């Protein structure tokens, strides 16, 4: 079955988590797409045919200094590239809903509760397939050089300026496919060291900057394959609406949440979906 873990930021406060699920998901009968950064694997210029034999400049991250308007590069710190690897990873935001595919009885031995909590929504397979749920493809660094989509994007669009409208459309289409359903198999060191990071202000009125990255909370070597992630991708919609018949099961962290949720369903829904407490062992 496919499980969507909801409001994992409240995983240590089950009552508040239940309240958030009821008011934001069950009452509205819709799931909100999250906006997450994923990365386009970009080959270093010296690997691409049009740059063969040319010297390529490289701007190291430490060359960027904070300013009130953002990061500014020190031109004196440019240097010829001597890469430890031949990739960097370019961030783009992507709208997605994330699910894991796992039997209920295996949940207690999975890594999911540590990261995402124990409150899950199980929508029917028929509904999810109708909305084009697809498995995430996990890559190692070496596999990217043989990935037809990644190679094709780099050959057609990597470092190419002045694209025509039709080329821009094709470029964005390829990027959506790469971003929506590709993820590193593990948090390997070159991914950590070579991805470009978004820089944002801490708050209004402050000039200090911080580097924000979706993968910062994971340790080196974290195995994303164990998450068995599937996704639904959206180009424009903010929400995915469902009916009462589409919700097959709700998984809750404890018996108290189960009783409260049963009461909510009896009072507000025509049919009560199955409610099961997260397995403890």
pLDDT digits (tens, 9 = 90+) for 24-34: 999 999 999 98
Confidence category of residue 219, pLDDT binned at 50, 70, 90? confident
Q: How many CB atoms lie within 10 A of CB 57?
A: 9
pLDDT digits (tens, 9 = 90+) for 180-194: 998 899 888 777 766
Give the span between the Cα atoms of 9 and 29, in whole angstroms.
20
Give the span between the Cα atoms of 259 and 52, in whole angstroms.
66
Give the span between the Cα atoms of 123 and 120, in whole angstroms.
10
Helices (H) and strands (E) in the chain, counts: 7, 18
Give the span between the Cα atoms of 70 and 82, in whole angstroms.
27
pLDDT digits (tens, 9 = 90+) for 57-108: 544 444 545 555 444 444 444 444 444 457 788 888 889 999 999 999 888 8
Q: 41 pairs with which residues across the strands?
A: 89
Q: What is the pTM of this model?
A: 0.77
Q: 64 pairs with which residues across the strands?
A: 73
Q: How many CB atoms lie within 10 A of CB 122?
A: 20
Q: CA separation (Å) from 200 to 95, 179, 220, 250? A: 20, 22, 24, 37
Domain residue limits, the chain: 2-277
Q: How many CB atoms lie within 10 A of CB 131?
A: 15
């Amino acid at each position: 079955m496919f499980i969507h873990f909801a409001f994992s930021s409240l995983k240590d406060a089950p009552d508040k988590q239940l309240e958030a699920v009821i008011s934001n998901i069950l009452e509205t009968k819709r799931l909100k797409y999250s906006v997450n950064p994923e990365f386009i694997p970009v080959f270093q210029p010296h690997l691409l045919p049009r740059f063969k034999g040319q010297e390529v400049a490289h701007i190291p991250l430490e060359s960027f200094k904070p300013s009130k308007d953002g990061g500014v590069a020190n031109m004196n710190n440019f240097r010829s590239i001597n890469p430890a690897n031949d990739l960097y990873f370019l961030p783009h935001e992507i709208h997605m809903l994330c699910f894991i595919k796992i039997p209920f009885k295996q949940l207690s031995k999975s890594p999911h509760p540590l990261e995402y909590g124990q409150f899950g929504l199980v929508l029917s397979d028929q509904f999810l397939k109708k909305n084009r749920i697809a498995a995430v493809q996990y890559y190692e660094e070496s596999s990217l050089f043989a990935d037809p989509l990644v190679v094709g994007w780099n050959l057609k669009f990597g470092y190419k300026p002045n694209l025509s409208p039709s080329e821009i459309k094709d470029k964005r289409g390829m990027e959506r496919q790469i971003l929506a359903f590709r993820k590193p198999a593990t948090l390997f060191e070159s991914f950590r060291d070579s991805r470009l990071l978004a820089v944002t202000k801490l708050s209004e009125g402050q000039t200090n900057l911080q580097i924000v990255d979706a993968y910062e909370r994971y340790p080196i070597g974290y195995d994303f394959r164990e998450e068995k992630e599937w996704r639904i991708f959206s180009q424009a919609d903010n929400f995915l609406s469902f009916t009462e018949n589409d919700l097959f099961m709700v998984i809750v962290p404890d018996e108290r949440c189960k009783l409260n949720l049963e009461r909510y369903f009896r009072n507000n829904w025509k049919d009560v979906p199955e409610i099961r407490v997260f397995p403890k062992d």
